[in-house]
């Protein structure tokens, strides 16, 4: 059975001997295709060597079967599994048996009669027979309705008298609606007490999609443990601009610095982190302008961004301890920043404002000036060169901090003045401390909630800006040597993280992890011995143990989906990080929307094409009339894939900065610099690539990237399809003809009859076009 189908293969580095030759023995993947092999070598004497021409490795079978599955389908939908049998032998095969196995009962076979009469039966497999002439391919399909969520196995077996083949693929089945994630994490500290008890509540809305809930508890004996485990997926938001790309870069620096400081660095983690850093570094250079500055979308922006240029200069300097970084790139960035410093010492934002708390708005520019000043201060080797620039910025921050009321700007100013060792650093820290909120053993800072949003439930979730300012507050306490005062802030920050060890977006994840790592390195211990008794139902308990042997291993335990109350009793010594994470799906409009969102399917004569117009605008509140950078994610109904030919024209629309796709091109992501009350209506297009019936509504969501309390969610229905629309001619039976006649007028029936005389029935036309698409894809892949 063929089961291995990688998109790429054989990307590795080897050390050669004195002969300059290396023999590799690898098992070829199961894909029937052509692999293009290239390579290069580096020698201290002869330099770089390249292959003169790529070599081709053809993987071939004279008889094989292939299936092309959609990226995913929703529960309750019916998908036609397309199967192509290829016969490249010299003889015709008059009877090939094609069997789709269902031994695990993960799906049920669908029939047109079932849709009309609503009956079903248990079948362990279903087979069809077809003739396949020599040197051709023939198609057949089976309609299935998945019964379980997650990945289900699609195993196809094709046999004839002289040959056979089997292929096994995985089909992703998702619940209806859009997933919502909740994470509740706590720092379990047993260093001063022998026992700690924590209570958790799993809060699932009444209108959540049934059976979509998944609950999990996890524990690890290291503050950054979950972060280290998920370096390539710290947040669930897309990150397709110059600032967001740094998420692939900076956390790796933080992790390497932390693990080296605690003597926990392993060769595998170091290799992985450096690989991510090198890729992120090269990608970030694509956002550089010719004048040395950086911006969110590179040269497509009119000018560089003060904020992003400072961020890059600061981060590249930190990375230079681990990978090769061109020092001139850093110097040129700082030079550009110095040239754009205002006479009063401030650093105004000369580019697009994507993050208003950082780049402007309240605070009279103190936040951005302090942020930029930090970049200069952390480039120690260039302090003398930019001494005048630094002194002017310090003076500006100090002068404007005395009367500053904006907590976000104050947190940044306090940290900058602490790094500069300014004489006012203690006074400013005391002022910041006075603005903190405390509760039990935690401490944090937060933005005031506008009166109009007092009941907005999104404010009850972790907020990016609050995490940022609290992390800067923690860094300030640590820079002042006040580790004990920083501990309550660390406990609060841990509680704001997602289940992957990141936060909500880029900036909060970067600065939050930096703050956590600095304190975690000071309290790290290899002597943890913690036992956690997890009670989730009457007389139901699970135990997890954290000790010196497994402190860096993230232990997980899934709980029953109906669990609602959990008590965890921890005993022993040392500390651990415990988190309860759960998810559920919602298929209704999001509450308290901060954007107008109206997806409308445009009338179209071709049922296999989808044109969706999505009108949107920002809903002002509390004096906030413009959003930060906004991101719209448009998902398509099952069976539809983005029309890639229309994406370039969409990206050329003046108000759209970037367009990308994800999830196998089933979702289009649009980036906006910002949105205001003016309505914008981009149109996205898709075409049907797989036959799916009874499709569920598809979601469209838009959100403020730097303020997750601003979000809107809507659902829309795509072109409807029944089993009669996706069945093969032999499977459609008379029921589809009767149904079609009842739904059509006499004129339509006469027109359809004429059409059938020319090209066969409508269902056959669909099969022909789909087969042509599939065969062309296979042929193109084989002749590469």
Query: Tell me, what CATH number does 657's domain have?
Result: 2.60.40.690
CATH for 571: 2.60.120.1540
Averaged pLDDT, 64-93: 96
For residue 515, is it within any domain? yes
CB 156 within 8 A of CB 138: no
Is 9 among the domain residues? no
Look at residue 507 in the predicted model and tell me its pLDDT: 93
Instruction: Say which CATH number the domain at 295 has.
Output: 1.50.10.20
Distance between CA atoms of residues 424 and 476, nearest Å:
13
Strands across the sheet containing 214-220: 178-189, 575-586, 214-220, 555-559
286 pLDDT above the threshold of 70: yes
* Residue % of the chain over a pLDDT of 70: 92
CATH of the domain at 106: 2.60.40.10
Lowest mean pLDDT among 193-202, 640-649, 771-780: 771-780
Whether residues 571 and 425 fall in one domain: no
| List of residues 6+ apart from 355 with CB closer than 8 A | 243, 307, 507, 628, 629, 706
How large is the average pLDDT for residues 416-427?
Answer: 98
Considering the domain architecture, whether residues 680 and 779 belong to the same structural domain is answered as: no
- Residue 358 located in a structural domain: yes
Token digits for 419?
Answer: 């790094």
Please tell me the distance from the alpha carbon of residue 561 to that of residue 578, in angstroms, as a whole number. 19
Task: Tell me if 35 is assigned to some domain.
Answer: no
Q: What is the pLDDT of residues 201-218, one digit of tens each?
A: 999 999 999 999 999 999
What's the structural domain count of the chain? 5
Model confidence pLDDT, tens digit, residues 324-338: 999 999 999 999 999
The residue among 586 and 538 whose pLDDT is bigger is 586
Give the dihedral of Cα atoms 434, 440, 445, 448; nearest 10 deg: -100
Higher pLDDT, 750 or 196: 196
What pLDDT, on the 0 to 100 scale, is given for residue 364? 54
Look at residues 386, 328, 486, 427 and name the one whose alpha carbon lies nearest to residue 378.
386
417 shares a domain with 458: yes
Any domain includes 667: yes
- Both structure tokens of 168: 């096994």
Tokens of 762: 């409508």
- Tell me, yes or no, whether 273 and 393 share the same domain: yes
Residues 626 and 678 in one domain: yes
Residue 529 has pLDDT above 50, yes or no: yes
Query: HSE of 4 in the Cβ direction (CA atoms, 13 Å)?
Result: 6
Instruction: State residue 777's pLDDT score.
Output: 32
Residue pair 93/131 in contact by the 8 Å Cβ criterion: yes
Task: Report angle CA 395, 401, 405 to the nearest 5 degrees.
Answer: 160
**pLDDT value of residue 743:** 55
The pLDDT of residue 525 is 85
Do 156 and 253 belong together in one domain? Answer: no
pLDDT (0 to 100) of residue 742: 55
Q: Give the integer Cα–Cα distance in Å for 447 and 463.
A: 9
For the chain, give the mean pLDDT. 90
Bridge-based pairing of strands 630-635 and 698-704 is: antiparallel
Distance CA 461, CA 451 (A): 17
pLDDT band at 88 (very low <50, low <70, confident <90, very high): very high
Same domain for 502 and 556, yes or no, is: no
User: Is 337 in contact with 372 (CB distance < 8 Å)?
Assistant: yes
Task: Confirm whether 43 is domain-assigned.
Answer: no
Instruction: Give the pLDDT confidence score for residue 758 in this predicted structure.
Output: 28
The strand pair at 540-546 and 555-559 is best described as unpaired
Confidence band of 754 (pLDDT split at 50, 70, 90):
very low
> What is residue 115's predicted lDDT score, i.e. its pLDDT?
62
Percent of the chain with pLDDT over 90: 74
Q: Rounded mean pLDDT of 540-569?
A: 95
Position 749 scores a pLDDT of 32
* Domain membership flag for residue 25: no
Mean pLDDT of 178-188: 96
Q: Select the more confidently predicted residue: 679 or 763.
A: 679
Whose tokens are 């640590």? That residue is: 478
pLDDT interval class at 237 (50, 70, 90)? confident
Task: Give 591-626 pLDDT, tens digit per residue.
Answer: 889 999 999 999 888 889 999 999 999 999 878 899
- Round to whole Å and give the CA distance between 469 and 475: 10
The parent domain of residue 598 ranges over 589-716
Q: Are residues 553 and 670 in the same domain?
A: no
Residue 32 lies in a domain: no
| pLDDT tens-digit readout, 736-745 | 876 665 554 4
626 in the same domain as 600: yes
Same domain, 76 and 197: no
User: 187: closest CA among 233, 225, 230, 214?
Assistant: 225
pLDDT classification of 572: cutoffs 50, 70, 90: very high
Q: Mark whether 240 and 106 lie in a shared domain.
A: no
Residues 213 and 237 in one domain: no
Q: Give the C-alpha separation, 413 to 432, whole Å.
A: 10
The residue written with tokens 């008059």 in the block is: 94
């Amino acid at each position: 059975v063929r089961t291995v189908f990688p998109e790429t293969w054989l990307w590795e580095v080897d050390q050669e001997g004195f002969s300059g030759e290396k023999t590799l023995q690898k098992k070829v993947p199961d894909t029937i295709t052509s692999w293009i092999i290239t390579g290069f070598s580096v020698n201290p004497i002869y330099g770089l060597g390249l292959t003169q021409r790529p070599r081709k490795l053809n993987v071939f079978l004279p008889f094989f079967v292939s299936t092309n599955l959609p990226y995913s389908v929703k529960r309750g939908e019916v998908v036609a599994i397309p199967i192509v049998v290829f016969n490249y032998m010299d003889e015709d095969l008059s009877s090939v048996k094609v069997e789709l196995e269902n031994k695990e009962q993960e799906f049920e076979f669908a029939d047109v009669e079932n849709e009309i009469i609503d009956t079903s039966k248990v079948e362990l497999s279903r087979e069809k027979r077809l003739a396949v002439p020599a040197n051709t391919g023939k198609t057949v399909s089976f309609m299935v309705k998945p019964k379980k969520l997650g990945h289900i196995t699609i195993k196809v077996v094709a046999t004839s008298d002289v040959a056979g083949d089997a292929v096994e693929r995985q089909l992703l089945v998702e619940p209806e609606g859009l997933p919502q994630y909740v994470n509740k994490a706590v720092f379990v500290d047993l260093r001063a007490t022998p026992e700690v008890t924590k209570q958790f509540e799993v809060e699932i809305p009444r209108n959540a999609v049934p059976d979509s809930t998944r609950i999990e508890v996890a524990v690890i004996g290291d503050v950054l443990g979950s972060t280290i485990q998920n370096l390539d997926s710290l947040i669930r938001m897309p990150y397709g601009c110059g600032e967001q790309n740094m998420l692939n870069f900076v956390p790796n620096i933080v992790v390497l610095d932390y693990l080296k400081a605690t003597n926990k660095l392993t060769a595998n983690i170091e290799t992985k982190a450096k690989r991510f850093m090198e890729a992120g570094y090269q990608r970030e250079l694509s956002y550089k302008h010719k004048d040395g500055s950086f911006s969110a979308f590179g040269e497509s922006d009119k000018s560089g961004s003060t904020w992003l240029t400072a961020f890059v200069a600061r981060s590249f300097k930190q990375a230079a301890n681990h990978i090769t970084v061109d020092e001139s790139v850093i110097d040129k960035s700082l030079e550009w920043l110095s040239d754009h410093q205002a006479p009063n010492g401030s650093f105004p934002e000369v580019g697009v404002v994507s993050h208003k708390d950082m780049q402007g708005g309240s605070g009279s520019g103190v936040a951005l000036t302090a942020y930029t000043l930090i970049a200069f201060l952390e480039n120690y080797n260039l302090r003398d060169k930019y001494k005048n620039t630094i002194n002017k910025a310090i003076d500006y921050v100090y002068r404007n901090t005395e009367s500053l009321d904006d907590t976000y700007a104050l947190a940044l100013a306090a940290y900058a003045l602490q790094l500069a060792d300014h004489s006012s650093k203690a006074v400013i820290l005391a002022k910041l401390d006075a603005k903190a909120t405390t509760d039990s053993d935690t401490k944090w800072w937060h933005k005031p909630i506008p009166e109009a949003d007092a009941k907005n439930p999104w404010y009850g979730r972790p907020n990016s800006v609050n995490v940022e300012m609290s992390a800067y507050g923690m860094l300030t306490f640590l820079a002042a040597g006040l580790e004990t005062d920083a501990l309550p802030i660390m406990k609060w920050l841990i509680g704001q993280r997602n289940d992957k060890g990141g936060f909500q977006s880029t900036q909060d994840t970067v600065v939050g992890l930096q703050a956590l790592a600095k304190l975690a390195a000071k309290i790290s211990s290899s002597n943890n011995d913690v036992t956690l008794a997890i009670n989730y139902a009457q007389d139901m308990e699970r135990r997890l143990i954290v000790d010196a042997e497994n402190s860096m291993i993230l232990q997980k335990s899934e709980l029953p989906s109906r669990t609602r109350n959990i008590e965890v009793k921890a005993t022993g010594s040392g500390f651990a990080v415990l988190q309860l994470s759960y998810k559920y799906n919602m298929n209704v409009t999001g509450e308290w929307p901060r954007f107008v969102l109206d997806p409308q399917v445009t009338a179209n004569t071709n049922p296999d094409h989808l044109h969706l117009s999505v009108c949107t605008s920002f809903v002002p509140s509390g004096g906030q009339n413009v959003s930060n950078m906004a991101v719209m994610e448009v998902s398509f109904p099952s069976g539809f894939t983005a029309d890639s030919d229309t994406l370039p024209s969409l990206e050329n629309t003046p108000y759209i900065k970037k367009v990308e796709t994800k999830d196998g091109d089933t979702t289009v992501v649009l980036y906006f610099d910002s949105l205001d009350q003016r309505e914008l209506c981009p149109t996205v297009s898709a075409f049907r690539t797989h036959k799916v019936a009874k499709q569920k509504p598809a979601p469209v969501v838009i959100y403020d990237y730097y303020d997750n309390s601003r979000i809107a969610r809507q659902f829309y229905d795509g072109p409807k399809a029944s089993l009669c629309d996706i069945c093969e001619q032999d499977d459609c039976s008379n029921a589809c003809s009767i149904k079609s006649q009842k739904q059509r007028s006499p004129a339509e029936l006469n027109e359809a009859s004429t059409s059938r005389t020319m090209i066969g029935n409508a269902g056959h036309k669909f099969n022909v076009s789909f087969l042509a698409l599939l065969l062309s894809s296979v042929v193109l892949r084989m002749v590469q």
